């Protein structure tokens, strides 16, 4: 499938915000996303392809206004890329299956690894248990 055909499929499947975030790398405003303060048990999957990304047990309130997780379910489902946009150096997080932009990871989180996966709600689909 060509990139143009793939983009059309995503445009038909996703809301305009989900498309802008996952396919164009935008960021939703803090404290506005569906899952920033969700407490439901389940798995947070990629909105584009359904890859399992994060468990609700690893979600915590970072105070940032975005869903935050201490770790992904499986590192193979996450790709990390150096991001030097907006005059900063950060690590972008993408879906390892479909390359959707998810958010960023920062070294200021709780837990054993000390990481905060700061993820856009628009890139996630909560599958409740």
pLDDT in tens, the chain (129 residues): 677 888 888 999 999 999 999 999 999 999 999 999 999 999 999 999 999 999 999 999 999 999 999 999 987 799 999 888 778 788 999 999 999 999 999 999 998 899 999 999 999 999 997
26 closest CA partner among 11, 12, 38, 16: 16
CATH for 3-128? Answer: 2.170.150.20
Residue with tokens 């997780």: 69
Per-position DSSP letters for 19-31, written without gaps between them: HHHHHH---PPTT
Domain ranges of the chain: 3-128
Residues whose CB is less than 8 angstroms from the CB of residue 15 and which lie 6 or more positions away in sequence, other chains included: 122
Rounded to two decimals, the pTM is 0.91
Active site residue 118: yes
66 closest CA partner among 19, 27, 111: 27
What is residue 53's predicted lDDT score, i.e. its pLDDT? 97
What is residue 85's predicted lDDT score, i.e. its pLDDT? 79
Phi first, then psi, for residue 18 (nearest 5°) are -60, -40
Please identify which of the residues 46, 48, 95, 118 carries the catalytic annotation: 118
């Amino acid at each position: 499938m060509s990139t143009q055909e793939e983009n059309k499929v995503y445009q038909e499947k996703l809301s305009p915000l989900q498309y802008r975030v996952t396919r164009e790398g935008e960021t939703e405003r803090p404290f506005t996303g569906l899952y920033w303060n969700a407490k439901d048990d389940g798995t947070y999957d990629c909105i584009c392809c359904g890859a399992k990304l994060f468990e609700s047990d690893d979600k915590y309130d970072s105070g940032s206004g975005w869903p935050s997780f201490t770790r992904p379910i499986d590192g193979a489902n996450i790709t990390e890329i150096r991001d030097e946009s907006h005059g900063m150096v950060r690590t972008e997080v993408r879906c390892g299956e479909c390359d959707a932009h998810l958010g960023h990871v920062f070294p200021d989180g709780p837990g054993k690894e000390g990481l905060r996966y700061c993820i856009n709600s628009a890139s996630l689909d909560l599958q409740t248990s």
